[in-house]
Amino acid sequence: MKLKKILPQLITLLFIILIFGFFTMNAQENMDTRGIEFGFGFLNKAASFDIQFSLIDYDGSMSYARAYLVGLLNTLLVSVIGIFLCTILGAIVGVARLSPNYLIRKTATFYIEFFRNIPLLLQIFFWYFAALRALPMPEDAPLLLGSSFMTIKGLYTPAPIWNNFDVFMIALIISMVIIFFFNKFAKRKQEEEGIQYPKFLISLGIFILFPALTFLIGGVDLSWSFPKLKQLALTSFTFEGGLGIPPELIALTLALTLYTATFIAENVRAGIQGIGRGQKEAAASIGLTPSQVLKLVILPQALRIIIPPTTNQYLNLTKNSSLAAAIAYPDLVLVFAGTAMMQTGRAIEIVGITMATYLTISLAISALMNWYNKRIAIQEK
Amino acid sequence: MNKINLFKPSKENLNIFLIIGALFFLLGVLDFCLNNFQGKNITFFLPGFISFFTPLIFGMIGLYLIRIEFSGIRLLDNLNKNINTSNFNAALSISIILLIIFSVAPLLNWFILEATFVGDSKEACTGDGACWVYIKTWFNRFMYGMYPNAEQWRVNATFIIVLGLMGAGYFSPLRYKKYLTFYYVIILPIISFLLIYYLISGGEFGLVWVETGAWGGLSLTFIVSFFSLIFCFPIGMMLALGRRSDLSVVKYSSLSFIEFWRGVPLITVLFMSAVMFPMFLPDGTYVDKLIRVIVAITLFEAAYTAEVIRGGLQALPRGQYDAAKSLGMGYWRLHFLVILPQALKLVIPGIANTFLALVKDTPLIFVVGLLELVGMLNLAKTNPKWLGFSMEGYVFAGIIFWIICYSMSKYSQSLELKYKTDR
């Protein structure tokens, strides 16, 4: 009996060791013959290539490690924007799919069936190479909303110029901390004494009031820099000032949002449908108002169904953002696994680091969501 | 004639309200159409902001006037029930109707009315619409990549034979049914591989050898997805069983294998297969690019399949295991005869989604330089003779992929219904 348990494990172990051993041995041999030394020392060398779009200061004289950071931040930027937008869109479409209005229901269904059945890469290409290329040149671009320009070279919007931005940020953080403790306090009051505070309104008030105060007494000042057309050469124009969002980022965000939102919409629909009618009726029969029914009975239960698959979609979005490499948006894959690898030729280290980075992000997000999921799970008594 | 109160639509003056309401509604649509397609603004006398919203306002008034309960006209009642229950709903309905009008007309123009269908060069495309001549000219390339034109019958023949063999299994007589799994999992892949090796690749029996680098287009999409689909399923099944195993070494190695592949993007996996994998092989060995890609995609999707199947395994009640064990079944018989058939039935939608994701992921193989449909489009787009038709190409590929994926998902839904058993 013992043997029956140990033997398969031994065989598996042997198999794994053999494969890994075979690979490492070959890698060692190959690197020896090519005269490459395994190591991460190259990260400190000057990268000597430029990156089109960067959130932090970067130029070619900085190290490969810095280039890696630029790529990572760009990946995170597009992921965060995408997750934010696709959650909103997905929630709206998911609710719309259950609407009693025939037209709305069918439109939502059409949207979902249309966008989820076309490869994401194709959608990215479509937005970048076909749709955004049809936009006007900077000199012909019409004014949007009185301040922005949508051109073939990207979207130009006014950029905020802050004075004493850190004071503002600190006020924001303090207001969030206050809101957190206030909500805890309100919850305890409700559970112990049954007193209900208008939690949302007070929270919103604190959230607006505190940062607003800094404008009056903290010396915080906000002004806007507007994009202005500038002539570079006879036929070449560009915009100066303001915030320039490159078309690669727009195309990528658009495609990721529209694609992932279809999946989130389906999750939302399944979550709402997964709650029995009885729950709603029971809640109404004990005298809760419709908004209370939604807030206290439906949503907490629906979220329990919605969150786990939605987390998966967030992860998918983050991983799919690596398709950026196809349209030359300088994300982690393009900057590091692309350009940096071409220059250094260190395939194993660089692909390894890239994969490890994504693995860390994935495991971190799923750990966070597991924690949250456990917190809202049914606590059976 | 009763007195008419315009603000309270009632049943007594049904016809009058109907006519006035319909007129208002049509006026809204007319205003919208004239505004958008003719450039005329019939409400120019109103301030800009209101003038912009007039179609919506007219439409809402119209729908308000015909919102009469129990009118006795079935069409009207249905209309009211479905799109016109309240002012808010009416506003949404009108916005959607106007949006449809706004988008359908230009699309129709672009697709058909102003499009060019006849001709054989770029010069034929003079209209404002799509240039389908481009697709017609490049059609062979989009389907077969760089595969020589004279040899393309070989690709067609292979696909027809493989499809026939798949169908043969489906329509096989009842007494062979028990070998069906064996046939699909082992015999069919071997036959297809041999067919592809000898017929598409060639080199023997007097056929010209065509290297895999020349394969491409939609046929390559099919080849890659076909093999990955067939191989990822059994591997995923074994991984799912491994992850639920009592043996800790098996369990944790399956777990880390699954989590590794699920944690990294496919594009980096393909990078790995392209640049990192050759470093791990003995010097001088060469594995064909296509095979490396298929192996990479298979392992990647197998991890996802494993998680889906695990969900099915977990959903089965303990009693099933206990009952099978009490009949004296061992591990393998228990799983293959009792557990897996039930678990797989439960997870048909999940498996279908994984397979769909696989098909949608195939365009990524451009990373290693293999050009399937989307890759060929990007190549054709840069051809100096055919600049500026990327839109047509992407729309064409979008339609093809959409048809493939949509029919797959519909098929999975029908399978789900077919194998649904009450529990």
Structure tokens, A193: 């004494």
Domain spans, chain B: 14-113, 132-147+210-418
Please give the backbone phi and psi of residue A287, each rounded to the nearest 5 degrees, phi first. 90, 20
- Determine the Cα–Cα distance for residues B289 and B298; give it in Å rounded to an integer: 14
- Determine the Cα–Cα distance for residues B237 and B308; give it in Å rounded to an integer: 9
Which residues of A are less than 8 Å from B266 in CB distance?
319
Query: Does B265 contact A23 at a Cβ distance shorter than 8 Å?
Result: no
Residue B252, SS3 per DSSP? helix
**pLDDT tens by residue, B273-301:** 887 787 787 777 777 888 888 889 999 99
Does residue B361 have a pLDDT over 80?
Answer: yes
**pLDDT tens by residue, B229-273:** 888 888 998 898 888 888 888 888 888 888 888 888 888 888 888
Best mean pLDDT range from A160-174, A262-276, B51-65, B182-196: A262-276
Mention every residue, 6+ apart, whose C-beta is less than 8 A from residue B407: none
Query: Does A103 contact B266 at a Cβ distance shorter than 8 Å?
Result: no
| pLDDT at B244 (0 to 100) | 84
Does residue B1 have a pLDDT over 60?
Answer: no
Burial label, A90 (beta-carbon count in 10 A; 0-12, 13-18, 19+): buried
Q: What is the pLDDT confidence band of residue B317, given thresholds at 50, 70 and 90?
A: confident
**Closest CB to B253 among A16, A23, A352:** A16
Percent of chain B past pLDDT 90, that is, above it, reads 3
**Closest CB to A347 among B259, B275, B391:** B275
| pLDDT at A380 (0 to 100) | 55
**pLDDT tens by residue, B302-316:** 999 998 888 888 888
Of A327-336, B80-89, B114-123, B158-167, the range with the lowest mean pLDDT is B114-123
CATH topology for B132-147+210-418 is MetI-like fold (1.10.3720)
Query: Does A362 contact B247 at a Cβ distance shorter than 8 Å?
Result: no
Of residues A341 and A319, the one with the higher pLDDT is A319
List the 165-224 stretch of B: residues with Cβ below 8 A of A: none
Residue A328, SS3 per DSSP? coil
**pLDDT tens by residue, A100-143:** 888 888 999 999 999 989 999 999 988 888 888 777 777 777 77
Tell me what the pLDDT averaged over chain A comes to.
Answer: 82
| pLDDT at B422 (0 to 100) | 57
- Determine the Cα–Cα distance for residues A259 and A253; give it in Å rounded to an integer: 10
Does residue B182 have a pLDDT over 50?
Answer: yes
**pLDDT tens by residue, A195-250:** 777 777 888 888 888 777 777 776 777 777 777 777 777 777 777 777 778 888 88
Does residue A12 have a pLDDT over 50?
Answer: yes
List b or e across A143-168, with b for residues whose CB sees 16 or more CB atoms inside 10 angstroms.
eeeeebbbbebbbbbbeeeeeeeebb
Which residues of A are less than 8 Å from B82 in CB distance?
100-103
| pLDDT at A254 (0 to 100) | 92
- Determine the Cα–Cα distance for residues A193 and A363; give it in Å rounded to an integer: 41
- Determine the Cα–Cα distance for residues A89 and A313; give it in Å rounded to an integer: 13
Query: Does A102 contact B366 at a Cβ distance shorter than 8 Å?
Result: no
Percent of chain A past pLDDT 90, that is, above it, reads 12
Does residue A89 have a pLDDT over 90?
Answer: yes
Does residue A84 have a pLDDT over 90?
Answer: yes
Which residues of A are less than 8 Å from B402 in CB distance?
114, 117-118
Q: What's the rounded mean pLDDT across residues B130-148?
A: 77
Nearest to A255 by CA among A117, A115, A112, A124: A124
Three-state SS for B151-212 is HHHHHHHHHHHHHHHHHHHHCCCHHHHHHHHHHHHHHHHHHHHHHHHHHHHCCCCCCCCCCH
| pLDDT at A378 (0 to 100) | 64
Does residue B403 have a pLDDT over 50?
Answer: yes
- Determine the Cα–Cα distance for residues B361 and B265; give it in Å rounded to an integer: 11
Q: Which residue has the tokens 């018989």?
A: B333
Does residue B44 have a pLDDT over 80?
Answer: no
**pLDDT tens by residue, B96-129:** 888 888 888 888 888 777 777 777 777 777 777 7
Alpha-carbon gap: B392 to the closest alpha carbon of chain A (Å) = 9
Does residue A82 have a pLDDT over 60?
Answer: yes
Alpha-carbon gap: A174 to the closest alpha carbon of chain B (Å) = 35
Helix or strand holding residue B229 (H, E): helix B217-243
Alpha-carbon gap: A342 to the closest alpha carbon of chain B (Å) = 10
Nearest to B217 by CA among B377, B389, B381: B377
- Determine the Cα–Cα distance for residues B217 and B147; give it in Å rounded to an integer: 9
Query: Does B271 contact A12 at a Cβ distance shorter than 8 Å?
Result: no
**pLDDT tens by residue, A261-272:** 999 999 998 888
Alpha-carbon gap: A46 to the closest alpha carbon of chain B (Å) = 23
Which residues of A are less than 8 Å from B283 in CB distance?
26, 29-30, 33
Q: What's the rounded mean pLDDT across residues B185-199?
A: 77
**pLDDT tens by residue, B61-103:** 888 777 777 777 787 777 777 777 777 888 888 888 888 888 8
CB-CB contact of B350 with B417 (8 Å): no
| pLDDT at B5 (0 to 100) | 66
Nearest to B236 by CA among B312, B182, B298: B298
**pLDDT tens by residue, B370-394:** 888 888 888 887 877 777 777 888 8
Does residue A334 have a pLDDT over 50?
Answer: yes
- Chosen for mutation from A351, A354, A359 (greatest number of chain B CBs closer than 10 Å) is A351
Does residue B219 have a pLDDT over 80?
Answer: yes
Q: What is the pLDDT confidence band of residue B402, given thresholds at 50, 70 and 90?
A: very high
| pLDDT at B22 (0 to 100) | 83
Structure tokens, B132: 């389908």
